[in-house]
Chain A
């Protein structure tokens, strides 16, 4: 077996083992980037990410990624979403090199072990999504964006490093189509309030009603599917959620 030759992979599950992909929990999004970035969304090579769909016999070439998990971490949510939405292309974005590598290996291993091809439509890129979102997605391309347990950046001086801010919401509103949904969750009360107030202030987003939240199957995954969420649940911590819809807007 191939998994035996790779010491960083678990022998029982064939998946990469997290202990070999540990990275610092924080990464400064303001620092200069030293990884390749596509010049524009049309320069993004999907055949690398979704070889089954953009290979030689490409039938669904017109299809584009619709979900983006910003700061996907170890990719727990992506893996759960892949089975829940088998027809949707989705992409995770992560700034930390090692963590991205882990998710990449994890997806490759899952693709190999699963027979139904359920994980062929998930992929991950290493990028700084606070800077380069428009290089990856066209206007109105996305229907869901996820910001799960982002870095809280407590110091006031560092608030502009937060992944949700009124300015960055302009860019997220640009890549989300009207009706698209933005999911945010955190275990830090202060950050939860911050994210909610940013979304409330922004004229292009409106809050989902309780009924809508209850009927959305994704909402419960926010806590249960992610590694961070499971950790919070284990410790009996509280989570703060803000789910908003991108609305059509005339200025």
Chain B
């Protein structure tokens, strides 16, 4: 009997911590496991979420959070198959959408009229947010199928700055650019382009723009240790930046060929720089991701080039950024590290900030310098100070979480045959 294979599958999945900052820096939200923690940066106090449903808002790991670009709405979604739309002012849950499958990515259109989410089948659903406003809880809605990546998990969803396109990146290597239709409830059938060039899973996509190029260009990060720049109307690859040399810069002991995973990417608005959070990956399979750091890239929008400006090392080796977010007004880069620890325990999280990211040298803020100070850290991290030893243990969980999230399981030829012959849906033979 197949015991070994079955056991491996029931092992609980850990989810990496996520962070998102309000577009006008009114609040900051982080998630770890099923916990959603929000801190009000204007009044310097923790926010208590109001949700009509009983019990915790999310019952399983949250996989995606996001503020709408207007700053009015906030969306959270994850493994409990729920997408929740919150008011980013009152923090009332305005709508709960139930999905058939676990949710992997979420996006809110720039006019706050639609929310899109992607599920484990690679299907993107759209929900009309018509009538959503302050303090009014809408009846639960069902998503309508918008498009489908055939059998590949979607890692990131993004609307183009002008709202014309919806972009979806997947765990194969594709980025699909689809025209977002006026009658979106009838599905998005017109594909503008495919951005093909990555050789591994695509982890994150974002737009870079400046006043001159308001239309913006697309940037994507991937497990093939590259960041790429694309023209979405034609799908053509404009430039590729290999970020693996930066790892050599960070780590001196060079032995194996390095492959780096870009885990998150965020553009610094109205400038042509983008910060990239990277993790080093040795080879391919499980337990492979090793540290670390933030890389600042320069993107020349008129010449269509990408280049590495600098590498920012974070003091204390155990901080592995799992998610980053940039606040425009204060020009602070927020980073979070952490992963859920089994099903119920939220695990440890650590929040750190970098100020003056474009300047030389940019500084990683000490805990006292963080806006909101210890009240913020206490709320977001669960406690103020976390010992180094606990963090290094958590770092292991973070690596495992990132791996299982991104890397497809690889089986040897022999193992594959074994799995094929021991499928549990097969009738037992006499």
Contact = CB atoms under 8 A, between A and B. Distances in A.
B172 A170 contact: no
Contacts of A204: 189-190
B199 A39 contact: yes
A174 interface: yes
A131 B190 contact: no
A225 interface: no
Interface in A1-21: none
Contacts of B193: 139
Contact of B189 (A39, A134, A135, A170): A170
A167 B150 contact: yes
Contacts of A174: 191, 194
Nearest to A167: B148
A251 interface: yes
A218 interface: no
Interface residues of A, number: 25
A251 B187 contact: no
A171 interface: yes
B23 interface: no
B191 A171 contact: yes
B296 to A, nearest CB: 27
Most buried by A among B173, B189, B198, B408: B189
A202 B235 CA distance: 24
Contacts of A173: 189-191
Interface stretch (B31-39, B43-51, B174-182, B328-336): B174-182
A169 B189 CA distance: 8
A6 B181 CA distance: 57
Identify which of B150, B173, B179 gathers the most chain A CB atoms within 10 Å of its CB.
B150
A235 to B, nearest CB: 29
Contacts of A35: none
A99 to B, nearest CB: 19
A170 B149 CA distance: 10
B194 A130 contact: no
Contact of A135 (B148, B152, B186, B196): B196
Interface string A163-184: 0001111110110000000000
Given A251-B182, A251-B190, A167 B408 contact: no
A60 interface: no
B197 interface: yes
B197 A39 contact: yes
Nearest to B187: A166
B179 A170 contact: no
Contacts of B186: 203
A215 B328 CA distance: 63
A168 B150 contact: yes
A33 B130 CA distance: 42
Given A32-B408, A249-B190, A251-B189, A39 B182 contact: no
A134 B408 contact: no
Interface in A39-61: 39-41
A170 B147 contact: yes
A30 interface: yes
A172 to B, nearest CB: 10
Nearest to B234: A139
B194 A251 contact: no
Nearest to A169: B189
B317 to A, nearest CB: 35
B283 interface: no
Contacts of A171: 150, 191
B196 A40 contact: yes
Interface string B198-209: 110000000000
Contacts of B393: none
B151 interface: yes
A166 B145 CA distance: 11
Contacts of A41: 196
Interface in B113-131: 121, 123
Interface string A102-133: 00000000000000000000000000001100
Nearest to A251: B181
Contacts of A135: 196
Given A139-B193, A173-B189, A251-B189, A131 B179 contact: no
Interface centre among A134, A135, A173, A202 (most CB of B within 10 A): A134
Given A30-B151, A204-B190, A131 B172 contact: yes
19 contacts: A39-B197, A40-B197, A131-B150, A134-B174, A134-B196, A135-B196, A139-B191, A160-B121, A166-B187, A167-B147, A167-B148, A169-B189, A170-B148, A170-B188, A170-B191, A171-B191, A173-B189, A251-B181, A251-B189
Across the A-B interface, give the 6 residue pairs with the lowest CB-CB distance, nearest first: A167-B148, A40-B196, A174-B191, A134-B194, A251-B181, A170-B189
Interface of B: 121, 123, 145, 147-148, 150-152, 172-174, 178-179, 181-182, 186-191, 193-194, 196-199, 235, 408
Given A170-B178, A204-B189, 14 more contacts: A29-B151, A32-B408, A39-B197, A40-B196, A40-B197, A131-B151, A134-B196, A139-B191, A139-B235, A166-B189, A174-B191, A203-B189, A204-B190, A251-B179
Interface of A: 29-30, 32, 39-41, 130-131, 134-135, 139, 160, 166-171, 173-174, 202-204, 249, 251
